[in-house]
A and B are shown apart, each in its own frame.
Chain A
Amino acid sequence: MFVVGIDIGSLATKAVLLNGEKEVTGYVVTLTGADSNKAGQTAIDRLIKDAGINPAQIAYMLSTGYGRENINLSNGQLTEITCHARGAVHIDPAVRTVIDIGGQDSKAISLNDYGDVIKFAMNDKCAAGTGRFLEVMARALEIDLQDMGELSLKSKHRVEVSSMCTVFAETEVISLISRSIDKIDIIAAIHRAIASRTGNMTENVGVKSSVMMTGGVAKNIGVVHALEERLDCKILVPKEPQIVGALGAAMFALDRATSADVKNNTE
């Protein structure tokens, strides 16, 4: 028996295949593009193919994320907040705070001792403090996005980027460059700005140990470091931070597949 959790974000679609023993037997990350239904289908096809299983073996598929309702194949859906929490707790049962920073949005989730969501906050109205922010800044600085994190750790002098808005911040960065401020210091300032934004949101839901970071931006060691400083705590980053939402969705799918109540495999 297998189940699938699929997280259809506005930028990337992630799918996880779980077996009956709660083991991850495969996962896929692809771009969502304009057609989220199609992206979901593509991800699932690849998942099945890579694992070499029969589609009939999938007992339940649960979708989450921005495109969770658009996908025809799913049997049910839950929000990415609930799914990120579940996924995080599955990886480490001691997690009580989840910080997810994706390409276009960020969220902070606080959990109780059962791993249930008690409070959450989202920033999905603007790009500041998300992966998009980093992209824009990397372009302005003419640095490779991949290198931003490592470089930020090398900063020796503290500079401030205070703007709230990505566009304003870009102007600020350009003016700092023109004043011959060391790019490394500017990069560090950008990372602190993200940490400040995200940190405020996280403190608002309550910071409780252990804290885990998920989402694509968790791969940026500079952001992780800046957040640890801002929140004054250690932050765990799982091996594959991007798939935590899909993993959580898969866990819920397993619940529903094994639950006696499920007759029609619908919500």
Chain B
Amino acid sequence: MTEERLVNRISTTKEVRPVIAGWYDEIRTAHADGKLLAWTYGPVPFEIFRAMDIRFEHLESYGAYLAARSGQEKLKELSESDGYSNDICSYARLVRGVSMLRERGDTSSVPGVLLVDLPDFVVAFRQCPLMATVYDYQKRLFNVPGFCIDTIPAHSEADYRENLIYIRRQLEELIVFLEDLTKTKLDFDRLKQIMAYVKEAALVRNRVLDLCKTKPAPMSVFDHFISLGPSHSQRGKKESVEYWRRLEAEVKERVDNGIGVIKNEKFRLYWHNLPIWFKVGRLSEVLAKHGAVLVAASYTHELFYSHEPEKIDPEDPLTSLAAEEAWQSWLAADAIQGAKQVQKEIEDYSIDGMIMCSHRTCQPADIGEYDIIDIIGRRLGIPGIVIDADPTDPAFYSDAQTETRLQAFIETLEARKRRAATS
């Protein structure tokens, strides 16, 4: 069925797929290249790994990568047949499937592009508490060294500051751990350069986010979700700055010419929680059909150095790293803090409604969604709707159910608009 594409995607995002493929090639050739391979869980500081030339796989990115590819069902099947309940985080189930194939020594049942080698060591950042369990479990399974960076789910600014110090101290220990393993010393100058690029890329990225405040929105959050790929795989590299600059130029041009990512923009929406990695394209088209576009999201606008990147001090990389981690932990834990961010975005981006995505097996951002809807509803009168999904597992997703809800939601927004126009 070929329909005319309603969404005018940012063409710079076409660069992403080969970049990601390249990253996985690097991961796959780690051992052949004589490098150590780490499996990581949670938002660990890639910058340090990069500075030490350690190749790493990242659970959440890997899950997102697998979600859109065929053959991944087989991985989940494997983990379920091993006794893993399907209530478990779908990322963890996918990765368990990969490790099972590796353990068996027979990987012929899935395409090679889905696989990576088993790790030499494991590192976790316990922002999602489950990451500690996955880390601990896999560490025992693979019988490899590991390091878990603990964090606290801060509920106040004071706690956030305590946490920053706590994390920073652990980063120092992480470096000692990595130096021990690799028998090399971390080159701090290199890390500083990496942080400089991180800062620059974040600043450019934030300018792009700001440009999306325009009406009509030149870029949708779906384009952003895709752009997160290079945020991880190219973080700290010059290429990431260049990617964002190209993207900025494209977006600026659209703004200058009043071109929107969809024609007939009627409603600007906010998306809460992780994307549904295997429905990014389809949902953007579905919303566009009703004149709706996603202009802001928690995952893109609040994380990954989108918060005050101007404060990053490349000369003090560890504090900068710890600050970002501590910020993410605060946001993840505290619905009141979360609601503050949402409110800011609603005001800055002229948002008409919120889509709260409730993920069945990826739960950290789920709790508190109802409260955010209530708080925003009371403060700003902006409505929200909850949809049921999962980041990578289609078994917990129904096109019909979700698309009906979204359409019904937009119909209520239309009714509000008409009401406001006549009163």
CA distance A151 to B83 in the complex (A): 32
Q: Are A199 and B398 in contact (CB under 8 A)?
A: no
What's the nearest-Cβ distance from chain B to residue A19, in Å? 41
> Does any Cβ of B come within 8 Å of A175's Cβ?
yes
Q: Are B1 and A199 in contact (CB under 8 A)?
A: no
> Does any Cβ of A come within 8 Å of B399's Cβ?
yes
A196-B395 contact in complex given A164-B86, A175-B400, A179-B1, C-beta closer than 8 Å: no
Partner pick for A175 among B80, B83, B394, B399, CB 8 A cutoff: B399
CA distance A172 to B1 in the complex (A): 17
CA distance A227 to B399 in the complex (A): 28
Q: In chain B, residues 399-413, which have Cβ atoms closer than 8 Å to a Cβ of chain A?
A: 399-401
Chain A: CB-nearest residue to B80: A200
Residues of chain B within 8 A of A172, CB atoms compared = 398, 400
Query: In which size bucket is the chain B interface?
Result: 10 to 19
> Does any Cβ of A come within 8 Å of B77's Cβ?
yes
CA distance A160 to B81 in the complex (A): 19
Q: In chain A, residues 195-219, which have Cβ atoms closer than 8 Å to a Cβ of chain B?
A: 196, 199-204
Could you mark each residue 330-344 of chain B with 1 if its beta carbon is under 8 Å from any beta carbon of chain A, else 0? 000000000000000
Partner pick for A163 among B73, B82, B398, CB 8 A cutoff: B398
Chain A: CB-nearest residue to B396: A164
Residues of chain B within 8 A of A171, CB atoms compared = 398, 400-401
Q: Are A204 and B82 in contact (CB under 8 A)?
A: yes
Query: In which size bucket is the chain A interface?
Result: 10 to 19
CA distance A257 to B398 in the complex (A): 55
Q: In chain B, residues 273-309, which have Cβ atoms closer than 8 Å to a Cβ of chain A?
A: none
- Specify the main secondary structure of chain A where it touches its partner: helix
What's the nearest-Cβ distance from chain A to residue B132, in Å? 25
Q: Are B398 and A168 in contact (CB under 8 A)?
A: yes
Q: Are B398 and A200 in contact (CB under 8 A)?
A: no
Could you mark each residue 75-93 of chain B with 1 if its beta carbon is under 8 Å from any beta carbon of chain A, else 0? 0010011110010000000
What's the nearest-Cβ distance from chain B to residue A178, in Å? 10
> Does any Cβ of B come within 8 Å of A258's Cβ?
no
CA distance A172 to B400 in the complex (A): 8
CA distance A202 to B82 in the complex (A): 10
Q: In chain B, residues 379-422, which have Cβ atoms closer than 8 Å to a Cβ of chain A?
A: 394-396, 398-401
Partner pick for B81 among A162, A164, A168, A203, CB 8 A cutoff: A203
CA distance A201 to B400 in the complex (A): 29
Residues of chain B within 8 A of A163, CB atoms compared = 394-395, 398
Residues of chain B within 8 A of A201, CB atoms compared = 81
Looking at A160, A199, A200, A203, the one whose CB has the most chain B CB atoms below 10 A away is A200
CA distance A171 to B401 in the complex (A): 9
Residues of chain A within 8 A of B401, CB atoms compared = 168, 171
CA distance A139 to B158 in the complex (A): 61
Q: In chain A, residues 139-195, which have Cβ atoms closer than 8 Å to a Cβ of chain B?
A: 160, 162-164, 168, 171-172, 175, 179
Residues of chain A within 8 A of B396, CB atoms compared = 164
Could you mark each residue 22-63 of chain A with 1 if its beta carbon is under 8 Å from any beta carbon of chain B, else 0? 000000000000000000000000000000000000000000
Chain A: CB-nearest residue to B394: A162
A200-B400 contact in complex given A162-B395, A163-B395, A164-B86, C-beta closer than 8 Å: no
CA distance A37 to B86 in the complex (A): 37
What's the nearest-Cβ distance from chain A to residue B19, in Å? 29
Residues of chain B within 8 A of A204, CB atoms compared = 80-83
Chain B: CB-nearest residue to A167: B398
Residues of chain B within 8 A of A203, CB atoms compared = 81-82
CA distance A171 to B73 in the complex (A): 20
CA distance A179 to B3 in the complex (A): 14
CA distance A175 to B83 in the complex (A): 32
Chain B: CB-nearest residue to A230: B77
Residues of chain A within 8 A of B398, CB atoms compared = 163, 168, 171-172
Q: Are B400 and A199 in contact (CB under 8 A)?
A: no
What's the nearest-Cβ distance from chain B to residue A229, in Å? 12
Q: In chain B, residues 188-220, which have Cβ atoms closer than 8 Å to a Cβ of chain A?
A: none
3 closest A-B pairs by beta carbon, nearest first, are A203-B81, A164-B395, A200-B80
List 20 interface pairs A-B (beta carbons < 8 Å), by A numbering: A162-B394, A163-B398, A168-B398, A168-B401, A171-B398, A171-B400, A171-B401, A172-B398, A172-B400, A175-B399, A175-B400, A196-B77, A200-B77, A200-B81, A202-B81, A203-B81, A203-B82, A204-B80, A204-B81, A204-B82
A residues at B contact (CB < 8 Å): 160, 162-164, 168, 171-172, 175, 179, 196, 199-204
